[in-house]
């Protein structure tokens, strides 16, 4: 293995470690245990956090979480 190939391998390994660290260190929203906790965030005007909290709680997709939040926003009007 040449020196250039070694440098490339080290750079790739470093990039993989960085990506893995970013994936594993996603920030969770604390104290989310029920849908009521999610709706409290929504009523406090924190729509994006409410969507993230719903996804965290139910392990759902962004589409499903947004639909849940939007449906509750429409019923409040």
Range of the domain at 29: 3-76
**CA-closest candidate to residue 51, choices 37, 40, 38, 34:** 38
φ and ψ at residue 30, rounded to 5 degrees:
-75, 160
Structure tokens given for 76: 């409040």
Alpha-carbon distances of 38 from 21, 50, 54, 70, 77, rounded to whole Å:
27, 5, 6, 12, 18
User: What is the value of pTM for the model shown?
Assistant: 0.65
pLDDT tens for each residue of 38-74: 999 999 999 999 999 999 999 999 999 999 999 998 8
What domain count does the chain have? 1
């Amino acid at each position: 293995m040449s020196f250039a190939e070694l440098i490339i391998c080290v750079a790739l390994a470093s990039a993989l470690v960085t990506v893995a660290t970013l994936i594993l260190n996603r920030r969770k929203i604390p104290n989310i245990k029920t849908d009521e906790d999610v709706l409290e965030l929504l009523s406090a005007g924190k729509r994006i956090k409410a969507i993230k909290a719903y996804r965290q709680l139910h392990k759902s997709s962004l589409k499903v979480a947004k639909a849940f939040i939007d449906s509750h926003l429409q019923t409040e009007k």
